[in-house]
Amino acid sequence: MSNETLPAPFAHYTLLEKIAVGGMAEVFRARIQGAMGFEKTLVIKRMLDTLAQDDEFKQLFMAEARIAAALSHVNIVQVFELGQEGPFLYIAMEHVHGMDLARLVQKTRTMGDFPLPLALFIICEVLKALAFAHSAADAEGHPLYLVHCDISPQNMLLSFAGEVKLTDFGISRAAFQRGPQDVIRGKYAYMSPEQVEGRALDGRSDLFSLGTVLYELVTGKRLFKAKTREETMARVRRAEVPSPRAHRPEISEDLEAVMLKALDRHPNGRYADAAEMMEAITQVVLREGLRATNHDLSVYLRSVETATVTEKAPESRPAPRPLRGPAPVAVVVMAVEASLPPRAIASPRSTLGVLSQEWGGLLAEAGGEIWESGEGAALVIWTAGQGLRETMGRVVRTGQNLSKLTARAGFRLSAGIAPGVVRLMPDTRRPAEGWELAGPFYLARWMMNLSAHRGRILLTEVGKDQIDEPCTLLGRIPIQGARFINIHELG
């Protein structure tokens, strides 16, 4: 049946398009129709012709359906039905309109580094699925001790709506399978050391596999993949992990520590469970301003898809205009203004125009980009390409040097520093309209105005956590409901 012409009827479905073929099944996009025009698109996973009479694979196939059907979670692909049509077992499951992570990485290979905020968002969404699966219980409340065993980019589905869903529990192992493995199944380059050695597994094996995915996603380098299966397995057994920062200096020491802990050769050296690993990543995201949302992922996926279509469009045909969907970028914003000290007696030793020119030279040397400027005032942006900690340190040192330079000219500096995440439009290299009074730009200006009454540099708690300079908590400002942002004074 694998060579039938599509569309084709199958059971009470219509097979529309073959999506993929794996070692155990072929996957189709399908449709089911009902009364009064009801219609739903879904996916049919059907056992291969060659395995239809193989009892072992039939058991694996049915186990996948039963396990996945018991896991009702927003980050896990939903299973609707396990059925049989003639000799063929099939699973009807949720259709995720988008692409898998492997395909996304392939499409963006020539587009530069994968955005860190989106990488961490995707990994955290998968961790939510794993936290749920690892703690799943049967109908009597007994823990199943599920281990997915095939965590890989191919099994992470990303929808154009910005959803992240884990799929393919075909070789997952439950409580009754917790002993040593007789047959090793899965993708060797993403296995844990204990999995390639056939030892007993628990949820920490999946965390190692997910750590491998994260490493490859943010560095663009394969971690354990070799030319042969034997060498790949040998590399996994050794679990020697080069520094991620050697491939991408933008990765902070804190994020690197999270990745290396997940990739510890020994399970006891890793995170105890998915929730602990997710908490560690969340802390990095909050400290370094790397937050991303479902909306950010949606915009990014659609922009990648549009860009791909544009590249493939014939020269004689006008290419569709790409969607404006830039990925989030971590930045540090500094707003500065010079003013006369209160009750000044002596006249300034320079003019604001001359002082602004001197500022320009100092800021250029420090790698800052002046987005707005006037006599004795500027809004300066640094892209955190070398990691937020290093960038914050440079910005703070620059602020201190600006303060000294301003004081020598007979003025006093007011300054606010705020890290954040923005989306820069490809044509203007600025955020969307209204950016001036949004996010870190507004916050930096607000702190600059507050600083005018104190004469010291102010920064947010996220910024304070990235530097070694002594700071004093000045107060907090409300942002949403009961949420607040703590403001700190440097020195």
Q: Which residues participate in catalysis according to the annotation?
A: 150
CB 416 within 8 A of CB 463: no
Distance CA 146, CA 169 (A): 10
Strand 8-10 versus strand 13-21 pairing type: antiparallel
SS3 95: coil
**Helix (H) or strand (E) run with residue 85 in it:** strand 79-85
Residue 275, by phi and psi: left (phi above 0), alpha (psi -120 to 50) or beta? alpha
Distance CA 258, CA 281 (A): 7
Distance CA 370, CA 363 (A): 8
Indicate the residue type of 208: F
SS3 232: helix
Maximum Cα–Cα distance for the chain, whole Å?
97
Contacts of 351 (CB under 8 A, 6+ apart): none
CB 264 within 8 A of CB 251: no
**Nearest Cα to Cα of residue 469 among 491, 449, 447, 452:** 491
CA 320 centroid distance within chain: 28
Indicate the residue type of 103: R
Residue 220, by phi and psi: left (phi above 0), alpha (psi -120 to 50) or beta? left
**Nearest Cα to Cα of residue 120 among 239, 241, 262:** 262
Distance CA 189, CA 55 (A): 28
Q: How far is CA 247 from CA 113, 386, 389, in A?
A: 10, 12, 17
Backbone angles phi, psi at 98, to 5 degrees: 170, -125
Beta strands in 241-368, from DSSP E residues, in sequence order: 328-339
Distance CA 39, CA 31 (A): 7
How many C-beta neighbours within 10 Å does residue 270 have? 22
Give, in degrees to the nearest 5, the angle at Cα 213 between 212 and 217: 120
Enter the tokens of residue 273: 């469970």
